Structure 1
Amino acid sequence: MNLLLLGFLFFIPILLLLRRGRNPSKRVPPGSLGIPIIGQSLGLLRAMRANTAEKWVQERISKYGPISKLSLFGKPTVLIYGQAANKFIFSSGGNAIANQQTQSIKMILGDRTLLELSGEDHSRVRGALVSFLKPESLKRYVGKMDEEVRNHLQMHWQGKQQVKVLPLMKTLTFNIICSLLFGLERGKQRDQYLDSFQEMIEGMWSVPINVPFTRYNRSLRASARIQTMLKETVQKKRIELEQNAASARQDLISCLLGTVDEDGKQVTTEKEIIDNIKLVMVAGHDTSSVLITFIIRLLANEPAIYAAVLQEQEEIAKGKPSGEALTWEDLSKMKYTWRVAMETLRMFPPIFGGFRKAETDIEYDGYLIPKGWQIFWVTAMTHMDSSIFTEPLKFEPSRFENQASVPPYCFIPFGGGARICPGYEFSRLETLVAIHYLVTRFSWKLCSDNFFNRDPMPVPSQGLLIQIWPRRLS
């Protein structure tokens, strides 16, 4: 009886949304909202974990066309597909569509992240983050990133015969985040963050029913622990800045605390700092670790591309005195390696898709998207479109020799337009530094199969188990 009542209460708002303000000359897209609350969520999640999510989406596109309705994570949703859809998502103003994530992401990360903010609030918070993450600011942190990578390899790779790549890359990127973004050195506090952080991200894409022993419930509790730790860290940084015991440029938290407007007022609130630090933790940790892992996987399968990457990295290594850290200038020479990374992102984008919210009734492609509905798009669908990328299943880094030759809004691993990820340059730096030391210090071959699933990011079977052995410069 209680379940029937709960379903009824959730179904009523959906009916109201369907009816409210509908333009009689337009109709909602084809499709079905499915079971109240659940909708098609479990089907999508199952497909992601079975590595058939793209097929699942393609079947909907084949059945209903490039726009269809469904229900995901408790809300009525419209799926849109194609270059025009991507342009609509990333170039529409805040009056039409707004940032909004699934309820699970919103509750776990907070409601003041860049994923939720729009208009002036989005510009204000994004500007504060970019002041730290822009290239001219990141130049000064290359040496620190270099140190974290070398320490990681010495601790976890040197002297080993086999390693699981993905767990180690997650450890590496988390340590880089702690060092550059929080100013946290190695030790107990880092370990406490890592344990709670890993539990927090497990329920990011989940049905938002908060009952014990579910992923969502565990993630909410882990998020609360991280929030408490972040509050303590923010207060400590604030006191250090007030006492001139720290620089506003030493890490991201200090930078956000020290960014003020023309009246001397802090640009971001404490809640905005905490929520967006959690967002940056997720973005900088998971996406980069997945990217580096899949580059290693692809280099093992593509000997010619591996040889070209190795040659480029050895030329850089030969020109440096032994033990000297990489510099910004060194990274700027890694053009082929970054093209390999871009092609990896095309074929295996860490982010499967994303959500927006219709702020008003929207007419799109001959249909009505009702106010309040979610809008869902999938990154990989244009990446693997043969009309955009010839032979999309072929790994071909030369596609990115001339970035202008790629049609706009077709390659979107970092978003696009004004919504492009502010951490793009940070991800590029940590990826290039990591690949440099991996290919110049080790050789490897795969021990496990090539299967992977999404949970919600790509996860290779056995964490990508590889056999490794040391190598020397040619």
Structure 2
Amino acid sequence: MGWPFIGESLDYFSKLQQGLAYKFLTERWKKYSSSTFMTSLIGEPMVLFCNAEGNKLLFSNEQKLVQVWWPSSLSKIFPKSDDKPSNEHSLTVHKLLRLILKNDGLREYVGIMDAIMKEHLQTYKKCKEVNVGDISKRYLLSLSSNIFIGMNDPGKIDTLAKLLKEIENGIFSIPINFPGTPLNRAIKASRLMIKDLNITTRQRRNDFLKHGSSSRKDFMSILLLAKDHNGQYFCDGDINSHLAGLLLASYTTLQSTIFSIMNYLAELPEVYDSVLREQEAIADGKEPNDTITWEDLRKMKYSWNVVREALRISTPGFGSFREAITDFSYEGYVIQRGLKIHWTSDSTHKNPKYFHDPEKFDPSRFEGDGPAPYTFAPFGGGPRMCPGNEYARVAILTFLHNMVIHFRWEKLNPYEKIIHYPSPRPAQGLPILLNPHNP
């Protein structure tokens, strides 16, 4: 169980920072002769489920055996006005998100996403050297601001990105709130973001009071008009706290995935050529200003396999947490009610039992029936699968389509260090040399 209170957190998060989470797991599998073991992380006794069977049990028994659990640091960073457990708030937002991020809703956003990406590319078409971090930052934050808040203020994007980075660094840190600690910096960043969001929320609520319901379809509008299970409207503070969390989730994980894709396509020309052929076939016959459609996205099968392989090797989220809501047995162990459970993506994504030669980038793994069930889980699974998984698919494929159709690229620093925690990303933001295609 490691040290008092700290447990094995330092060892675990140190290995996460080095991209060696799988090493942490395998050391304990060998020590205990079991892929299920107990330790102490972020101040809590915790059981780790590290195989496909464990994933299946957790994903299939939401609200039966387990419920989502978040570290106490999360409620400090994204505070709510009541004492309800974070799981209750999470369930409510999860249901509401499905209203805006379901396929029918996303169909309407495909053209908007593509138009935003095309507009951003105009800025870089005359540039030889660019930074992938800058391109993806402006694109992703423009999308999330538009879809979740219903606004687009380019002047706020740099500030917003800095605040989100501070919040991400503090979410899964050791829960010590002293000046200068990651948690303390994250709390301050969140307060600044929520304060800024409050101006927009207050204005939007006043508009609703004056003019009634609006035709707006952004998530802020849905939250303003929604009621909780007690029939009460959400207060502005809770709405802003939810929105800040969504901005974080829709930005950091997607940017990490874009970094990985751009990096692999620069290193693997044969994979790039296959993606290019597929995207050229989709663009063939379109006018320069035509946007891609939902049907176009469905044709991007190889490109999506490339994205999924990037998600497997460099999963943006290292896993998630559950809490047992009743006693149950698993692999001969009794998991007692109240005990915290951690599942990790690397336990299956990097495991040669499920993926042969797991460090090799091979999109063909996803052809045909693809990986075995519950082995590939970048978005979780079951009833609690991330409601943003389709949003992520649309946003990433739209970015990829536009970049590949217009450019080849090469890395300016082939030996750039990769920072693996909180999400995998190049230390310098992946500077590249753009080579436009001939018209």
Give the TM-score taking structure 1 as reference length. Answer: 0.85
Partner SS for 1:39: coil
- Structure 1 position 36, deviation (Å): 1.7
Task: Single out whichever of 379-388 and 302-311 deviates more from structure 2.
Answer: 379-388
Over 3 Å counting, the alpha-carbon distance change for 1:50 and 1:123 in structure 2 is closer
Q: CA deviation at 1:167?
A: 4.4
Question: How far apart are the structure 1 equivalents of 2:154 and 2:257?
Answer: 26
Cα deviations by residue, 1:263-292 (Å, 9 ceiling, x for unpaired): 9x5675655533332222122101111111
Instruction: Give the match's secondary structure for 2:171.
Output: coil
Instruction: Give the residue type in structure 2 aligned to 1:255.
Output: I
Q: Check the 8 A contact 1:447/1:465 in 2, yes or no.
A: yes
User: For structure 1, which segment, 241-250 or 72-81, has the greater mean C-alpha deviation from structure 2 after superposition?
Assistant: 241-250
Q: 1:367 to 1:167 in 2, by over 3 A?
A: farther
Tell me the SS of whatever aligns to 2:152. Answer: coil
Number of aligned positions between the proteins: 436
Greater displacement, 345-354 / 93-102: 93-102
Structure 1 244/329 Cα, relative in aligned 2: closer, same or farther at 3 Å?
farther
Shift of 1:255: 2.2
Shift in Å at residue 436 of structure 1?
0.8
Contact 2:259 2:425 in 1 (8 A): no
For 1:100, the aligned partner's letter is W
**How far off its partner does 1:191 sit?**
4.9
Do structure 1's residue 428 and structure 2's residue 393 form an aligned pair?
A: yes
Contact 2:100/2:217, CA 8 A, preserved across alignment: no
1:418 to 356, 376, 383: 383
One-letter identity of the residue aligned with 1:440? I
Q: Hey, what does 2:56 align to over in structure 1? A: 87
Alignment match, 1:212: 179
Q: Distance in 2 between matches of 1:277 and 1:333?
A: 32
1:153, distance to aligned residue in structure 2 (A)? 2.1
Alignment counterpart, residue 159 of structure 1, candidates 108, 112, 126 = 126
Q: How has the CA–CA distance of structure 1 residues 94 and 217 changed in structure 2, closer, same or farther, with 3 Å as cutoff?
A: same
Larger radius of gyration: 1
Identity, in percent, stands at 34
The residue that corresponds to 1:130 in the other structure is 98
1:58 to 4, 14, 26: 26
In the alignment, the residues of structure 2 paired with residue 198 and residue 223 of structure 1 have an alpha-carbon distance, to the nearest angstrom, of 10
Query: Could you list the runs of 5+ residues in structure 2 that have no partner in the other structure?
Result: none
- The answer on 1:394 being equivalent to 2:363 is no
* In 2, Cα distance between equivalents of 1:124 and 1:352: 24
Once the two structures are overlaid, the 10-residue window that deviates more, 211-220 or 185-194, is 185-194
TM-score (structure 2 length as normaliser): 0.91
Alpha-carbon deviations, 1:103-145, whole Å to 9, x = none?
A: 2233223469999325xx6554322111101010111112221
SS at match of 2:211: coil
CA distance in 1, matches of 2:286, 2:232: 42
Q: Secondary structure at the match of 1:163?
A: strand
Does the residue aligned with 2:311 lie in a helix, a strand or coil? helix
Gaps of 5+ in 1: 1-32
* Cα pair distance change 1:268/1:417, threshold 3 Å: farther
Answer with 409-418 or 146-155: which moved more. Answer: 146-155
2:279 matched to 1:313?
A: yes
Rounded Cα–Cα distance in structure 2 between residues aligned with 1:211 and 1:292: 34
| 2-structure distance, mates of 1:79, 1:261 | 33
- Structure 2 counterpart of 1:149: 117
Partner of 2:188: 221
For 1:85 and 1:271, locate their aligned partners in 2 and report how far apart those are by CA, in whole Å. Answer: 37
1:241 CA drift (Å): 2.7
Alpha-carbon RMSD across the aligned residues, in angstroms, is 2.6
2:67 aligns with 98
Among 402, 423, 426, the alignment partner of 1:437 is: 402
Distance in 1, Cα, partners of 2:40 & 2:229: 45
Alignment-mate amino acid for residue 72 of structure 1: L
Alignment check: 8 A CA contact 2:279 2:401 kept: yes
Map 1:4-23 → 2, pairs under 5 A: none
Are 1:34 and 1:71, in contact at CA under 8 Å, matched by a contact in 2? yes
